[in-house]
Amino acid sequence: MTRIGIIGGGQLGLMIAEQARALGVRCVALDPAPDAPAFAACEGRIVAAYDDAEALERLCRECDAVTYEFENVPGEVLQPLVAKYHIPQGFEPLSDSQDRLREKDNARANGFDTPAYAAVDSEATLRRAVAEIGLPCVLKTRTLGYDGHGQAVLRSEADIERALPLLAVPCILEAFVDFDYEVSLILVSDGERFVSFPIGRNVHRDGILDLSFVPAEGLSPELERRIRATGEAFMRRCGYRGILAVELFVRGDRFFFNEMAPRPHNSGHWTIEGCSTNQFRELVRFLAGMPLEEPRQTAPAVMKNILGRDLDAARRIAAEGHEGVYVHLYGKSESRPRRKMGHITFTGISAAEYAEKWSKYFEDRCCE
């Protein structure tokens, strides 16, 4: 029986382990928190920091294959392990995604259009970049930013002044894309075959994914075909294997690379109930050396991200027991207003039907 090691014990690790168990594959997770959600579905646990080289080596020794569900695993710790153990995705996609400048350079060099951008590390370089790129634009830290953290939208001179503290670390300035909507593409490849999931349309609130609608309203079949082809070509040219999620801005018939993640993605959680297979299962198939299965959407779906501020509403919906409504709570011990605590997948409904029937459950909490 194959044993998979997961670096990170959050909700993504939990769902990887749940799907692995369904395929007869055991999992061991490493996480610094003794009550990490993934431990509930794993046969083994290692409580240790992500940069604990000895603990990571132990995880690799105990498992047939190792993956990561957390972007901020230090590349310098992971890289020597790749040469000694079976880490099928390697460290390259993880490393490329950890620095926004390297990520954008890589995307542009390998087939994606990107917004205009420039590296900035001082007030002088920031002002030069603003003069070249123009307002509005977005200043982001190059590393460790997520869910709206480590970034600021610059629309005026006052915004530039307020954003200067971000320059305590290297940053990137990007043109603000006046996009029509955002989508995400999720692919899995074993190096030969590619499978991709139906593309979802995403809505963010306060920098955090709030809703995903699948199929993506307004996305033409031709544009979807081009996005898939570009994503596959990108993975092939970069030599990436395993799972990759790419967030894209769509404007008219063009699309622009925003960011990528070499792990299962929040916007793909709907695949568990809305697809013939799901992103976690296909990742496990890849890691375990099983043939990949082409996903087929079985029902229209809406995925609602549940933050701490939404938790009471999610529990109420779960207690009511609605048909076609699947509430996933991650079992995190501490709830905070902006912390991801779960998700709900509504199947068989459109975006309009979601707005009419379900959005009211969250309206009083959406802006807290």
- The three-state secondary structure class of 51 is coil
Residue 262 makes CB contacts below 8 A (sequence gap 6+) with 68, 71, 89, 93, 94, 97, 240, 242, 243, 244, 245
Residue ranges covered by each domain of the chain? 3-87, 116-175, 181-363
| CATH hierarchy code of domain 181-363 | 3.30.470.20
pLDDT digits (tens, 9 = 90+) for 97-117: 999 999 999 999 999 999 999
CA-wise closest residue to 254 among 113, 134, 136, 116: 113
Task: Give pLDDT tens digits for 305-343.
Answer: 999 999 999 999 999 999 999 999 999 999 999 999 999
pTM over 0.85: yes
Return the residue matching tokens 């590390």.
121
Name the average pLDDT for the chain: 95
Share of the chain above pLDDT 70, in %: 97
User: Within 13 Å and on the Cβ side, how many CA atoms surround 168?
Assistant: 6
Rounded-to-integer distance, Cα 332 and Cα 348, Å: 29
Residue 119 has what pLDDT?
98
Residues 142-156, mean pLDDT to the nearest whole number = 82
Residues in the chain, how many? 368
Q: Tell me the average pLDDT across 3-7.
A: 98
pLDDT beyond 80 at 145: no
Token pair belonging to 332: 């995190």
Q: Which pLDDT does position 160 carry in this prediction? A: 97
Fold of the CATH domain 3-87 = Rossmann fold (3.40.50)
What is the second-level CATH architecture of the domain 116-175? 2-Layer Sandwich (3.30)
Q: What is the pLDDT of residues 51-92, one digit of tens each?
A: 899 999 999 999 999 999 988 788 788 889 999 999 999 999
State the CB neighbour count (10 A cutoff) for residue 356: 11
| Beta-ladder partners of 338 | none
